Chain A
């Protein structure tokens, strides 16, 4: 029994409460969390492009596929483990396992097989450092975040965010064969962005998290403390967003644009902090996604220009 009272002993848990036998191939695709995969592909590709050096386009494509499949596979294993929580929350109750379209055991097998295949393919096709980083990322997401932290501490997404921050590092390693300062800066940017992003969502869904016994910060420490944390992390995000320009990874246009985006991010955090209840949390959550997309899009364009025309691009 975990500390939150959720039983994870195999056999004691309702395995497939309502498997309907009506799974489709699309259900297996949705086990991979395609929306998360798309963000992972994007950040991984950016890490690959902004890294110094070149990679053959076929190997680059294989690296992106491996990163996305690895991320998707860990998502499938996460759904296998969290099927009981998912069934209790509106946002996740339609997922393939709780809705009875895919048996839990199949989701586990699917996730494990794809994890192993993506790591092996990355090692054989690209290099073994990026394969090792991918393996560590998958293992961290499953064992450290999903199985250990998620149901035990309100710091779950702070520490677990490291897994989501790894794709650009893996992409960087795919191009260069090592991990440089630029990779660490990109890691820090996503790592610091993750808590305010998820806490904004958690403010909106605190009732569901409480019912599912997931100790998200608003559930454990309340709205005010969560808003304080969001504000503090948003300051760090605004600073980390400019860091790629500061270390010479991107040009001045990027530096100015990222500073403006960071200030807007901070503005949303202040609005959440000052607002009553969860008035601004939804907008903060939405803008946080746009922020990360724009920052990495700028870096991608900058890196592409630098690769094609030399020097810092934007």
Chain B
């Protein structure tokens, strides 16, 4: 694997991790907001 491939792969991996983390973060914030608004209180 040459340096160019290494860096491309590194960026892909990073983007996956960052993307998944952001998605999880947004889902959690939405859920917390729903709790705060009483939408999930049963």
Contacts and interface: CB of A to CB of B under 8 A. Distances in A.
A56 B9 contact: no
A56 B40 CA distance: 9
Interface in B1-42: 1, 3, 5-7, 9-10, 13-14, 16-17, 20-21, 25, 28-29, 31-32, 34-35, 40-41
Given A21-B5, A21-B9, A117-B25, A59 B16 contact: no
Contacts of B25: 117, 121
A59 B40 CA distance: 11
B30 to A, nearest CB: 10
Secondary structure class of chain A's binding surface, majority of residues = helix
A121 B28 contact: yes
A125 B28 contact: yes
A21 B1 contact: yes
A126 to B, nearest CB: 9
Interface stretch (A23-31, A132-140, A144-152, A177-185): A23-31
A20 B13 CA distance: 14
Contact of A62 (B9, B13, B17, B32): B32
B10 A106 contact: yes
A113 B20 CA distance: 13
A23 B31 contact: no
Given A21-B1, A121-B25, A56 B41 contact: yes
Given A21-B1, A23-B10, A62-B31, 18 more contacts: A19-B6, A20-B6, A21-B6, A21-B9, A21-B10, A23-B9, A25-B16, A25-B20, A56-B35, A58-B31, A58-B40, A59-B32, A62-B28, A62-B32, A114-B21, A124-B32, A125-B28, A125-B29
10 contacts: A21-B9, A22-B9, A25-B20, A56-B35, A58-B34, A58-B40, A106-B10, A124-B29, A125-B28, A125-B29
